[in-house]
Structure 1
């Protein structure tokens, strides 16, 4: 089979209405697939004023706002008649599901009933979310549901080896492949550093900037970040805090780091300038499956202090490009940041090492791995020895999880 023989239906809980690393990766993938001659059609909830224009053909799926103060996200209501008719007319031979929510479950049922291949990609560690809302006790149950969900696919694509190992620990038996991520190397570079821009924010040239980049939601580790900043202040470690991003937890976070400079949402060259103008990138999140922001900081020549958790452990070389710290070790984070602040030579050396390591992350090679996985799945299904139904196929539909893609 050739790429031009593929007809791929992509299902995403969020393709373009709120900007995040997951849907930007999906849009870049769709662009690559279209360039290779693959027919692609995307099914996702939509809004009147999305964060950015979608790549490829996007079909709107009926959806409701997500409750619990997260109304910026939509919860897809499965495959209704009009969507099913569009799917039937498109006639996909492979379904790609990007999130374990209602729409994703409906897509797996559609693929199974149509007898076509199905691939899942994992973008977010949903099982970690309950801990940020006082419900850590449900995490084992969520892991069980996710295991059942991913065991229904011909292939599961994860962004890092640590996530693949985690799924295998849970009991996922479906074949696992790596869909890594790339970096816009023309944009994220050390020479984007701009002291004049820092001055416009009231940050002195000789100040050491500890930066945060990402959506301002609690599951990004905002509480840990704030506690570490408090510890640095108590110790008298000289620094300024720069926060780049926006989100529903903005006011909550601003109250806990009142001395921080909030640059708001930035994109394009402005974002590249902001990242390169940091001196330490601090990412305490444990929900990451890869950490695009981490590689962007590395590409910009900024040392990283991150949680010793999935995603970061595949990117940061301990003591060489930054430091990895046990996820809730406030003193450990403060120690690592203080060490970088106190030693400009170490800071420069880590930045240079991170920049060199980040050079390996390229979007074309990452997305080629997805296309190769599609073709491998199609070849396996065509092989007579694999024509019988899978012994691991689950007939009952597991309960539904959240809708962040």
Structure 2
């Protein structure tokens, strides 16, 4: 079989109703698959006013709003209508992109019909409880994730560091890589715009520390704020530029009254905002890859990041940026201070980051997932069942 013989049923908890790095990657992948001649059908919750138009055919799945986070929805069942649709579609591979009830049921549906399943890992869900005072639940969440992923033929992670963590956590016997690409037309150093910076009230020679991403507490907003406080206390000259939107924006603005908040940006506007920063500060430990880190690197920015999955596969310590122990406020401040004060060090790291980012082209990374699909189908055709949990 080649790519034109693929009939993929893709299940996702969020395909297009809220924009994030994970569903942007999924939509790009579906577009790539369709261009290659594959057939894809997507099953996900839908809303009346999604963040963007979906790529490919999207079938709405029954869902409910997450309590306290109503912008997100949980698809809770594989309804009779979805089962009829799946039967008519007759996929030869099922791809699940989130460990929710719908994807659990999709795996069960596939196993009963001897259809192989591939799962993609986009978020470190086991780390989320610690941001809501429920860290004691992490072992339980890990156990639930292990049960979910072990029912799949293979799983793919967006970085080698995340893949190794999944192996260490015994999530699967077959862990591959589906990394992320970069749009170099949007993210490049030429997008830097001093006139735009001035319109934001930023002086030409002021070092700008950037934050890019959805404004939610699990992105490390508390660590970011505490670190900026330390720089201010040290009288290190800097400005803070925050690009993104989310439910924690009011909290973040109150913590950083001197910061500039652009709100949500996309396309050329996002590229301009990123390239107009001088460094990226990414203290989050929840990412499995870190799309924003790659985008900043492509714009020739050094990154100060938490030493965590994703960042460890992108940032080379002391070369393209700094990797700091998660939550180490003073160490984060030391690293940022160096880039704020020593321009030559900052520029040298930024150029090294740009060269590193050039490895990631979208077509190459998406073909790697297609190759995984074809390998798993070939293994099944030879009678090889997945080495996984016997849970039905």
Q: Give the structure-1-normalised TM-score.
A: 0.95
After superposition, where does 1:178-217 map in structure 2 within 5 Å? 178-217=177-216
What is aligned with 1:395? 391
What is aligned with 2:60? 60
Structure 1 position 32 matched with structure 2 position 32: yes
8 Å contact kept, 1:152–1:174: no
After superposition, where does 1:4-403 map in structure 2 within 5 Å? 4-67=4-67, 69-384=68-383, 386=384, 390=386, 392-395=388-391
Paired with 2:241 and 2:303, the residues of 1 have a C-alpha distance of 14
* Worse-matched range after superposition: 270-279 or 106-115: 106-115
What is aligned with 1:401? none
Paired with 1:319 and 1:284, the residues of 2 have a C-alpha distance of 17
Paired with 1:342 and 1:19, the residues of 2 have a C-alpha distance of 35
SS at match of 1:352: helix
Structure 2: runs of 5+ lacking an equivalent = none
Paired with 1:392 and 1:56, the residues of 2 have a C-alpha distance of 31
Offset from partner CA, 1:134-154 (integer Å, 9 cap, x none): 011111111111112111111
Deviation at 1:395, TM superposition (A): 2.3
Deviation at 1:36, TM superposition (A): 1.1
* Worse-matched range after superposition: 197-206 or 218-227: 197-206
8 Å contact kept, 1:286–1:307: yes
Paired with 2:262 and 2:101, the residues of 1 have a C-alpha distance of 35
SS at match of 1:341: helix
* Worse-matched range after superposition: 270-279 or 171-180: 171-180
Paired with 1:146 and 1:173, the residues of 2 have a C-alpha distance of 10
Paired with 2:49 and 2:387, the residues of 1 have a C-alpha distance of 45
SS at match of 2:55: coil
Deviation at 1:392, TM superposition (A): 3.1
Deviation at 1:172, TM superposition (A): 2.2
8 Å contact kept, 1:46–1:61: yes
Offset from partner CA, 1:64-105 (integer Å, 9 cap, x none): 1011x2100011022101111111111111000000011110
SS at match of 1:233: helix
Paired with 1:21 and 1:161, the residues of 2 have a C-alpha distance of 18
Deviation at 1:115, TM superposition (A): 1.3
Deviation at 1:391, TM superposition (A): 5.9
Q: How many residues align?
A: 392
